[in-house]
Amino acid sequence: MSEHTITVAGVAVDARHWIGGERVASTQTFPDVSPIDGSTIGGISRGTAMEAAAAVAAAKAAFPAWAATSRAERARILHAVADGVEKRIDELAIVETTDNGALLRSHRRGVMPRVAHNFRFFADWLLKLEHEDFETRGHTNHVSWDPAGPSVLITPWNAPLMLATWKLAPALAAGNTVILKPAEWTPLTASLLADIAAEAGVPAGVLNVVQGYGSEIGDALTSHPDVRRISFTGSVPTAKRIAESAAANLTPLSLELGGKSPLLVFADADLDLAVDLAVEQYDNAGQVCLAATRFLVEESVAEEFTRRFVEKASTLTQGDPRDEATDIGPNIHLRQLEKIDGFVQRAVAAGARAVIGGHRVAGRYYAPTLLTDVAQDSEIVQEEVFGPVLTLQTFSTEEEAVRLANDTRFGLAATVATGDPERAERVTGQLVAGTVWVNCFFVRDLRAPFGGSRHSGVGREGGTWSFDFYCDLRNTVTAP
């Protein structure tokens, strides 16, 4: 324990950076506040360009040895990291809940076990990656997956460790060294992960974790000329800023951004299933990039769908996310609350009707909201709210449903509820979305590609697509 240790629900978390295998403090700190009750958890090292340079230098120095480590050895170490995560699931869960306000029960039973799985999956996938060979007039073309180099990973607060490890596990497996910068709203579990990785045998400098504001250390990292990959999950405005920094050094980028995904409910759907899928969109207090926030419901069933939705939504319990009975926790911070409420009040002023909700509750909590009478070109239909705010529009033909579904600048996901397999195939084929779910939601297989089209992102993560991004593919042609 040091003066830099913060204790969260009995768990000791180091508030400093982790650079080159050592804890490093900044001269300044920033406050980490819990959205559950607005209390200050502690002061976290506020990184600057100086710590960014130190972390990149550490990653650069550690790169040749890590890149030269055998695949089997890297896989073994990543499995050891997974073991470490599994041993500390309860600690990671309570710390993440305190930091971002998402449900403790989901962190314990769903998220943290999947964080461990992310390491295991990419360790095993690495061992399956083929080195391909082709023949040309007696010459051999040997294609190999070479690690690209120091990689900067920047992540948001809505699912901190899950999103970080989707990047971290394949980056490390590929043989890259990493500088991870978590969001300033949720710095804690990344720091715990640095401890776990060190205990598991990840060598010094291979994983570096730095803390601080995006406009300070984030900017310095993404502009650094020694960085060979930048993987970012977050908002569109930040992505544009990062793309400018990356352009100066021609650093390859992966961008996982926002969404305004539709849920299409056809009259032939199992309406109970459609309502279950619809109510699920309040998960994590609506702070899910993939959330199907726009309900598009066939006119003939819209009234019945709305009635059953309201009935089911009214059974949700809102409150402290550490409580087993809670379904909806707080939103991340007061500015987000104000942003959410601003969207809703402007929509109502423009003629929308709040079927449920439409207002703040106490603290950082917003009432689960459903708005109808919204125009397709209105702000509430076109912009990502990132709170528990959903809209409902109706359609009368399949063509109209597809047109409305595709009519935003995003293309992250779409969900289709229908009892007709032919319709499902026809409709999904026309939707602009990186992921389309039919009669289900949020099912993710790490072997499959994940990402968004248009303003929802650039590139894909998952399975071989992740290695494609983190590697420089090399073709070696040898004469007979």
Nearer to ligand NAD, 79 or 117 (CB): 117
Tokens representing residue 412 in the block? 């992250």
CB of 384 to ligand NAD, least distance (A): 5
* CA R_g for the chain: 23
3-state SS class at 287:
coil
Nearer to ligand NAD, 224 or 308 (CB): 224
CB 389 within 8 A of CB 369: yes
CA dihedral 369, 374, 380, 386 (to 10 degrees): 30
CB of 380 to ligand NAD, least distance (A): 16
Nearer to ligand NAD, 74 or 114 (CB): 114
Q: How far apart are CA 90 and CA 105, in angstroms?
A: 10
Interacting residue ranges for ligand NAD, rule: CB under 6 A: 154-158, 163, 181, 183-184, 213-215, 218-219, 222, 233-235, 238, 241-242, 256-259, 289, 384, 386, 412, 452, 457
CB of 282 to ligand NAD, least distance (A): 16
CB 188 within 8 A of CB 128: no
Q: How far apart are CA 21 and CA 333, in angstroms?
A: 32
Nearer to ligand NAD, 386 or 395 (CB): 386
In angstroms, what CA-CA distances link 384 with 16, 247, 257, 258, 432?
A: 33, 26, 11, 7, 17
Nearer to ligand NAD, 82 or 163 (CB): 163
Q: How far apart are CA 391 and CA 414, in angstroms?
A: 15
Residue closest to ligand NAD when measured from CB atoms:
214
Q: What is the DSSP letter of 357?
A: -
- Beta partners for residue 369, in sequence order: 389
Provide the 10 A C-beta neighbour count for residue 25: 16
CA atoms within 13 A on the CB side of 123: 19
Q: How far apart are CA 188 and CA 11, in angstroms?
A: 11
Q: How far apart are CA 226 and CA 220, in angstroms?
A: 11
CB of 132 to ligand NAD, least distance (A): 29
Determine whether 250 is exposed, middle or buried from the number of CB atoms within 10 Å of its CB (0-12, 13-18, 19+). exposed
Q: Give the DSSP H/E element, type plus range, for residue 45.
A: strand 40-45
CB of 196 to ligand NAD, least distance (A): 20
CA dihedral 34, 35, 36, 39 (to 10 degrees): 40
Nearer to ligand NAD, 107 or 181 (CB): 181
Q: Is 184 among the residues known to form the active site? A: no
Nearer to ligand NAD, 192 or 257 (CB): 257
3-state SS class at 362:
coil
Q: Which of 51, 91, 184, 256 is catalytic?
A: 256
CB of 236 to ligand NAD, least distance (A): 7
CB of 235 to ligand NAD, least distance (A): 3
Provide the 10 A C-beta neighbour count for residue 436: 18
Nearer to ligand NAD, 173 or 257 (CB): 257
Q: How far apart are CA 309 and CA 278, in angstroms?
A: 7
For 296-329, give the DSSP string: EEEHHHHHHHHHHHHHHHTT--BS-TTSTT-SB-
CB of 218 to ligand NAD, least distance (A): 3
CB of 213 to ligand NAD, least distance (A): 6
Positive/negative CA dihedral, 398, 417, 371, 410: negative
Nearer to ligand NAD, 150 or 175 (CB): 150
Q: What is the DSSP letter of 360?
A: B
Q: How far apart are CA 9 and CA 261, in angstroms?
A: 36
Residues marked active site are found at 256
